[in-house]
Amino acid sequence: MTPLFKALKLGSLIVPNRIFMAPLTRCRAGDSHIPNDLMAQYYAQRASAGLIIAEATMVMEGNSAFWKEPGIYSQEQIAGWKKVTDSVHASEGRIFLQLWHGGRVCHPLLNGGAQPVAPSAIAITNDEVHTPEGKKPYVIPRELRDDELPAIVAGFKKAAENAKAAGFDGIEIHGANGYLLDEFLRDGTNQRSGRYGGSRENRARLLFEVIEAVSSVWTNQRVGLRISPLNSFNSMMDSDPIGLSTWLAKQLNQFNLAYLHVMRGDFFQQQTGDILTPIRQNYKGILIANMGYTSEEANQQIAEGKIDAVSFGTSFIANPDLPERMKAGTPLNQPDPATFYTQGTEGYTDYPMSLS
């Protein structure tokens, strides 16, 4: 049996293989941000993943960054997600929900005119956002006050409670890719003073408070965390990503998480380096790697003990039966980026299965 197809214990959950589905924003929830039947079909098609990590989901109303992404703050959204989890479980799958606050990536045109919030008043400069009025530049966010942060922690906790009510098997905290928790963590976007700025200990304070809050709802062993210390997406940067990764890996041991999920590189190649090695050397829990893996490289790195599992992104978009294809050596469908963020079934639930 190849390493990818060996069972893995994630805290109190045992998964049958190490081919995970990465969280992938698909914008199929519509203007209401309510998960729907089409989303239930999409995730059920991919239930053979060792673990599905569902897409970034708003923990609090008024923080939309992708226009038609889902939320988990209302009873209607809980009911919509329950359809998804029921469908995945009926297909013998396992699914975590990724809890997310967009931070400065949010836009007034998506949130009733509200200015986005962030650790510091620094705007994204290397991209534009899709809005009902077309692509628009990002705006300068409002710097959060320290006394506003407990409400954000409470928002994550309530979202964790709602995810439990919706039937998920666990949750993943989104601490990556330039969204709010990542903005606090990295010094390129966190230039504040006080208890939540300056030192690594202070910059990580909000993330650790969120981990503690959601772990009071779920056991720690049903909570994962995703980070991306190198990724410059959303104008992100840190002065010492290797040092940050090493320090963070040590600190996370205290939480006894189900797993740590690491994006190993940078979409834009602005920051390079090996962050997986120092993380593996210092983090004692399960390590999930992501970004640009082939099945061959994944098998090799798992066999060598460098990582424990791999999450696949666009490969899972185009191949609902990705584990079966990898096991059989069946050629993979190629994803169509033009349909990643559109509406309807095209490029979503209409990719062929290998045996269909």
Model pLDDT, residue 354: 80
Model pLDDT, residue 271: 87
Domain locations along the chain = 3-339
Q: Evaluate whether the domain defined by 3-339 bears CATH number 3.20.20.70.
A: yes
Q: Cite the active site residues.
A: 179
* pTM score: 0.98
Q: Give the residues of the chain that fall short of pLDDT 70.
A: 1, 355-356
Model pLDDT, residue 1: 62
Model pLDDT, residue 182: 98
In whole angstroms, give the CA distance from residue 67 to residue 83.
22
> Within 10 A of 149 (CB to CB), how many other CB atoms are there?
18
In whole angstroms, give the CA distance from residue 294 to residue 214.
33
State whether residue 103 is helix, strand or coil: helix
Model pLDDT, residue 355: 62
